[in-house]
Chain A
Amino acid sequence: MINKIASSLSEAVAPITDGSSVMITGFGDSGLPRELIDALIEQGASDLTIISNNAGTERVGLARLLELGRVRKIVCSYPKSSGSVVFTELYRAGRIELELVPQGTLLERMRAAGAGLGPFFTPTGYGTTIADGKEQRVVDGKGYVLEQPLAADFALVKAYHADRWGNLTYRLAARGFGPVMCMAAKTTIAQVDDIVPLGSIAPEAVVTPGIFVSRVVRKDAQNGRS
């Protein structure tokens, strides 16, 4: 029997080890898997590479993980949202590595990794400093930059409903990075508002099929210590 349900948030994030690369969904506060991030903070893994659109705000969640010195490198498109105080401090002090990637390129690099594609040409960033050190080619008069697929060891994803096979739905624009990150990570861990019986999500309403998901956990599943 396939059963991907983890009984607690701490159990869900247990396999993350020092040095892991971790994708985290979210666009600002929308789609952020807050409970899984808090579980990761408690879990203790360090020397992490975080792949996420933003770099956290205030001193909670992802920003807290940064502040605790647990993140070696962040791959993101927009680390300068208002309230990104921790990232700003660390970056200016030279204590965190930043790989800045245009948002569409970030998404497509992950999608390529999940879809089994190799490097691809995109017009985004052609002729800019983002293209430095990368192959650039003009095809039919239009310039393109060669970009590499981007995979990760783990993805922490905020979804809405799941069943025990890991089929997922998302709520409103919290969908965001979810479907792509689920594909691009070796191990995808999704937190959900509710776990529903197998078959109760209509097949055509499944947004991310369980084949891309390793673990699901209710966002309020007791965060017991292991």
Chain B
Amino acid sequence: MAAAKKLSRDRVAQLTAQDIAAGSYINIGLGIPTLVPKYLDPKKEVVLHSENGILGLEGLQPGLPGDEDLINASKQHVQLILGASIVDQSLSFAMMRGGHLDATILGAFQVAMNGDIASWSTGAKDDIPGIGGAMDLVAGSRRVVVVMEHLARGGAPKLMKACSYPLTGLGVVTNIYTDMAIIDVDPARGFVVRGIAEGLSREELQAATDAPLLYADDVAVLTEH
């Protein structure tokens, strides 16, 4: 059954969370990335940044009403953790653009084998574009981690030889987590697979990918549990 070869969104988020180093400062974007925080081990003290000026936040405890002046980039209510700080938005973007975040975790429409990312517009005439903080995040973060479905709705590949949509940043993506694979972007060689979903063949993964895939020496088999 083809569907069984894809990992759930939650599992992709969990795999992403496992690779985040203790003590990291990270930014979480829209889409599957919003699921990543719940899989972060609190003992790792990973500090989440939200572009609207919050450093040190977590999901709102169920049952609490939330506060309109405490939201994240997805406009969800959040709460502060011990040690949190709140700054104005230009200082928040200095954290992003200035290289102070260890990683940004965001979705994308397309990623190219040279690390280019397209995430803000399909370029279609009636498309409503939206950049938000994405261009600043990818310009400055030490690692740019894309977490997304491997294929677009309709089945078009999203991991490309070259992006066809307008770019968000050039040569910036370092790692990609999808429902089919974990892929590192090597600036010299392109896409290097280091994990593949259980039951998925290399041929099937390549058929779902526009760009040629290389494989790490040690490729993990990614199981749902």
Contacts and interface: CB of A to CB of B under 8 A. Distances in A.
A78 B189 CA distance: 34
A176 B88 contact: yes
Given A103-B131, A122-B97, A124-B136, A27 B89 contact: yes
Interface in A54-99: 77-81, 84, 87-88, 91-92
Contact of B136 (A30, A102, A111): A102
A6 interface: no
A118 interface: no
B135 interface: yes
Interface residues of A, number: 46
B199 interface: no
Contacts of A110: 90
Given A29-B75, A107-B93, A173-B71, A102 B167 contact: no
Contact of A123 (B51, B90, B139, B168): B139
Nearest to B140: A123
A100 B131 contact: yes
A108 B132 CA distance: 14
A127 B170 contact: yes
B68 interface: yes
A103 B51 contact: yes
Contacts of A107: 89-90, 93
A81 B130 CA distance: 8
B132 A77 contact: yes
B151 interface: no
Given A27-B71, A77-B132, A124 B97 contact: yes
B107 interface: no
Interface string A1-29: 00000000000000000000000000111
A129 interface: yes
A160 to B, nearest CB: 9
Interface in B149-184: 166-170
A128 B53 CA distance: 26
A30 B70 contact: yes
B23 interface: no
B199 to A, nearest CB: 35
Interface of A: 27-31, 77-81, 84, 87-88, 91-92, 100-105, 107-108, 110-111, 122-130, 143, 171-180, 207
5 contacts: A30-B69, A81-B130, A91-B128, A172-B67, A173-B71
5 A-B pairs with the lowest CB-CB distances in the bound complex, closest first: A104-B136, A104-B93, A80-B130, A102-B135, A172-B69
